[in-house]
Amino acid sequence: MIISAQTVRTAANPAERIDPVIRQIRDIVYQVSGIYQLEEKLYLLNDGCQRRMKPLNVRTPSEYWNYLHAHSNRDPEIRQLLNEITIGETCLFRSPAQLDALRKVILPEFAAERTKQATKRLRVCSAGCSTGEEPYTLAIVLMEELQSRLKGWDVEINATDLNDRSIEAAKIGTYGGYALRNTTDLHKRKYFSPIVEGKLQVRPEVKKLVRFDRLNLQDDSKMLFMKGMDIIFCCNVLIYFDGASKSRAVNHFFSNLNFGGYLFLGTSESLLNLNDKFHLVHFPGAIAYWKPSLRSEKL
Amino acid sequence: MKAGSNAIIQERVKGIETTPSTPAVLMPLLQLLNAPGDEVELDEIVRLASYDNTIAGQCLRAAGSPLFGLAKSPDSVKGAVISLGLRRVQTILLTCCLGRAFPTRKWPIHPTAFWRHSLGCALACRKLSEKLGSRDVEKSYTAGLLHDIGLLVNCLAFPDEFMMAVQKACEEQIPLDEAELETMGFTHCETGRALGEKWKLADDLVEVIAHHHAVERAEAAQPLVAIVHLGDLICRMRGLDYGYYERHKVDLPEDPAWKVLLKEHRELEGLDLVRFTFEMDESIEQIHELVSTVFGAPVGAS
């Protein structure tokens, strides 16, 4: 999982003037990648554009807009620009509104639907899990639920990433203050063990819930074997894919989800027109894509 | 609604007191909102805005918010009209008057949350109307601003009963109208309707107030009611709520209000809902600022 640089950089001087063309560039980025840069974070896009303009020998945002608009190399360039405005850093409990939606709306919905099933199972996927912050967050949330609402349930989190080194680091599960900045003291005490000064390691009982695998989301043959998911988190990963690959991955997500399942993307990401079978649904502070249940009139 | 509630509502709404300047400014302003745009005189708006210096000052400060389209506050109400048009200044003036209309007492819901939600809904409705190519986007703004006026009635006329409803809503994380119906036997839709009728609001605004939680019951003004229903939902899902978590999943295109609007506006099919949501998010900070400007520091909150 990769987060936007906006979360770790300090805000620019609000008086700093942004060239209006940057807003037009924001629109192009949104149309191509589904990433929307909020007004208050436009300075990050501005900085990113300035950095990209230099190697291209482009002098003004207008010229750069022309490049992004009409140049034959526009798609790779937009991905380069996205690389400039995002960085490979994240933390546990990164998106509280998504976790609230999971705990307060989705899990009660699943629990109500599955009361009559003999084996109650929940399968969650963290696609593009980087160094494990997201799947361990989900594991902690679900462990709390296993003591109440999901008592007796069989819960499994499949976490995947393309990068072997990330997977190895994720399996070790050691985090410092920055990655743990959103983690409460109670959660730290309950689900982590101190190892060296300032570092905590995820406890074995949390690790037990998570299975890590190397997976390329563009590998069709392997994606076909990820069936039966109830919830997929794929936050800020698809932005690095070109249109066709993104579309393929999203279609795999749709077919791999159970009916009634949910796909969560990053907080400023959208599927745009990649898949019209998903329903866009709002929860307080969060949006998700829902694969309607079988009884839905749309299917 | 529980039998007998209507008589009690009418009786209590009759007794609602507003602040002294309200009859002189708010009532004529509400009457002007009923009139066609070309029949409203600039001088009349300037006279109303000038009646109360505080309201005039707030109106100019509010007009300077990016939410209304200006980069800085205009020097005079006339200047605001020249820059923004008569209709928009009318709605800004209404926003300021409404914020001062009711005495501040103990509110079961936080007044800041209430005004943020009302203003947010007004802006969401105006934005949605613009996207749909509507001719009277300021009408949608006004409808959004007034839709929950019944909650104010409940604060003033049914404080104890409403307190119980709010507690139930917060504890169970359910929509406020559901909690009202279960504890009071009626909702802010009925009490708001009674105030709207007392104030002689236009029929379409009364329909919005009365039916924004049940679009299918609306009659002539159903599309306007549908816009407000959707604006209300979007605000409640994007941090402009009543100050508590609502356990709620909203599928807007499957909502009956969406289907009502789709019959009138095929443009709705092409609306990028995610982008609309992100654009609403961008307004949140400005809405917070505007509520501080117009409605001042929170007072009387419980």
Question: What number is the average pLDDT over the span B201-207?
Answer: 94
Contact B139, B225 (CB under 8 A): no
Question: What number is the average pLDDT over the span A223-233?
Answer: 91
Euclidean distance between the first and final Cα of chain B, in Å? Answer: 27
Q: Are residues A135 and A259 in the same domain?
A: yes
Kindly identify which residue of chain B lies nearest to residue A108, measuring between CA atoms: B247
Q: Are residues A251 and A270 in the same domain?
A: yes
Residue A294 to residues A80, A123, A160, A291, B241, Cα–Cα distance (Å): 41, 18, 28, 9, 32
d(CA B125, CA B231): 5
d(CA B113, CA B117): 6
Q: Is the pLDDT of residue A299 over 60?
A: no
Kindly identify which residue of chain B lies nearest to residue A105, measuring between CA atoms: B247
Boundary residue ending a domain (A70, A87, A104): A87
- How many CB contacts within 8 angstroms connect chain A with chain B? 67
Indicate the DSSP class of residue B109: S
Boundary residue ending a domain (A87, A119, A137): A87
Q: Are residues A44 and A120 in the same domain?
A: no
The H or E element that residue A123 is part of is strand A121-127
- Which pLDDT score, from 0 to 100, does residue A87 have? 60
pLDDT, one tens digit per residue, over A44-68 is 899 999 999 999 999 999 999 999 9
Q: Are residues A36 and A114 in the same domain?
A: no
d(CA A68, CA A27): 11
> A73-82, A84-93, A108-117, A213-222 — which is least confidently predicted?
A84-93
Q: Which of B234, B250, B278 sits opposite A281 (nearest CB)?
A: B250
Q: Where residue A68 sits, what CATH number does that domain have?
A: 1.10.155
Name the residue with higher pLDDT: B293 or A96.
A96
Contact B1, B185 (CB under 8 A): yes
Helices (runs of H) and strands (runs of E) counted in chain B: 16, 0
CA dihedral A239, A245, A246, A247 (to 10 degrees): 160
Residue A295 lies in a domain: no
Q: Are residues A135 and A63 in the same domain?
A: no
Q: Is the pLDDT of residue B39 over 80?
A: no
Contact B215, B264 (CB under 8 A): no
Kindly identify which residue of chain A lies nearest to residue B173, measuring between CA atoms: A104
Mean of the per-residue pLDDT values for chain B?
A: 88
Number of domain units in chain A: 2
For residue A33, give both structure tokens: 């990648």
Residue A297 lies in a domain: no
Q: Is the pLDDT of residue B299 over 70?
A: no
Contact A70, A24 (CB under 8 A): no
Mean of the per-residue pLDDT values for chain A?
A: 88
- Which pLDDT score, from 0 to 100, does residue B298 have? 43
- Which pLDDT score, from 0 to 100, does residue A8 have? 37
Q: Is the pLDDT of residue A2 over 50?
A: no
Q: Give B239 to chain A, closest Cα distance, Å.
A: 6
Q: Is the pLDDT of residue B244 over 60?
A: yes
Kindly identify which residue of chain A lies nearest to residue B272, measuring between CA atoms: A272
Q: Are residues A24 and A147 in the same domain?
A: no
Q: Where residue A281 sits, what CATH number does that domain have?
A: 3.40.50.150
> A186-195, A282-291, B98-107 — which is least confidently predicted?
B98-107
Range of the domain at A31: 3-87
Q: Are residues A101 and A56 in the same domain?
A: no
For an interface test with A, the pick among B237, B271, B276 (most A C-beta atoms closer than 10 Å) comes out as B237
- Which pLDDT score, from 0 to 100, does residue B53 have? 81
Q: Do B278 and A38 touch (CB under 8 A)?
A: yes
Q: Are residues A110 and A208 in the same domain?
A: yes
Kindly list the residues of chain A whose beta carbon comes within 8 Å of any beta carbon in chain B: 30, 34, 36, 38-40, 100, 104-106, 108-109, 268, 270-272, 279-285, 287, 290
Among B294, B296, B250, CA closest to B57: B294
Q: Is the pLDDT of residue A7 over 60?
A: no
Residue A296 lies in a domain: no
Count Cβ neighbours within 10 Å for each residue of B84-105 and write b for 16 or more, e otherwise: bebbbbbbbbbbbbbbbbbeee
- Which pLDDT score, from 0 to 100, does residue A285 have? 96
Residue with tokens 């309607």: A292
Q: Do B251 and A283 touch (CB under 8 A)?
A: no
Q: Are residues A10 and A139 in the same domain?
A: no
Name the residue with higher pLDDT: A27 or A275.
A27
Complex confidence, ipTM: 0.89
Residue A31 lies in a domain: yes
List A213's β-bridge partners, or say none: A160
Name the residue with higher pLDDT: A96 or A13.
A96
Positive or negative, the Cα torsion across A65, A67, A73, A79? negative
- Which pLDDT score, from 0 to 100, does residue A260 have? 95
Among B37, B50, B39, CA closest to B78: B50
The H or E element that residue B124 is part of is helix B111-131
Q: Are residues A111 and A77 in the same domain?
A: no
Contact A26, A35 (CB under 8 A): no
Residue A80 lies in a domain: yes
Indicate the DSSP class of residue A106: I
pLDDT, one tens digit per residue, over B156-192 is 899 999 999 999 999 999 999 999 999 999 999 999 9
- Which pLDDT score, from 0 to 100, does residue B149 have? 94
d(CA B96, CA B54): 9
Residue B222 to residues A291, B142, B214, Cα–Cα distance (Å): 30, 15, 10
Kindly identify which residue of chain B lies nearest to residue A285, measuring between CA atoms: B238
Residue A298 lies in a domain: no
Contact A175, A199 (CB under 8 A): yes
Contact B18, B202 (CB under 8 A): no
Q: Do B251 and A105 touch (CB under 8 A)?
A: no
Contact B214, B255 (CB under 8 A): no
pLDDT, one tens digit per residue, over A149-204 is 999 999 999 999 988 999 999 999 999 999 999 999 999 999 999 998 889 999 99
Q: Is the pLDDT of residue B230 over 90?
A: yes
Q: Are residues A162 and A23 in the same domain?
A: no
Task: Write the single-letter amino acid at A16.
Answer: E
pLDDT, one tens digit per residue, over B74-86 is 888 888 888 888 8
Q: Do B278 and A268 touch (CB under 8 A)?
A: yes
Helix B149-157 vs helix B159-172: angle between axes, to the nearest 10 degrees? 120
Contact B73, B294 (CB under 8 A): no
Residue A299 lies in a domain: no
Boundary residue ending a domain (A47, A65, A87): A87
Distance of CA B22 to the CA centre of its chain: 17
Q: pTM value?
A: 0.88
Answer whether B241 touches A (CB < 8 Å).
yes
Total Cβ atoms within 10 A of residue A237:
23
- Which pLDDT score, from 0 to 100, does residue B37 have? 66
- Which pLDDT score, from 0 to 100, does residue B104 have? 63
Contact A137, A145 (CB under 8 A): no
B203's CB contacts (< 8 A; 6+ apart) are B220, B221
Q: Do B272 and A39 touch (CB under 8 A)?
A: no
Domains of chain B: 16-103 (no CATH), 107-292 (1.10.3210.10)
Q: Are residues A42 and A64 in the same domain?
A: yes
d(CA B156, CA B12): 9
- Grade residue B100 by pLDDT with cuts at 50, 70 and 90: confident
The H or E element that residue B62 is part of is helix B53-63
Kindly identify which residue of chain A lies nearest to residue B250, measuring between CA atoms: A282
Q: Do B250 and A282 touch (CB under 8 A)?
A: yes
Contacts of A37 in chain B (CB under 8 A): none
- Grade residue A6 by pLDDT with cuts at 50, 70 and 90: very low
Q: Which of A30, A283, A285 sits opposite B249 (nearest CB)?
A: A283
Q: Do B273 and A280 touch (CB under 8 A)?
A: yes
Contacts of B285 in chain A (CB under 8 A): 40
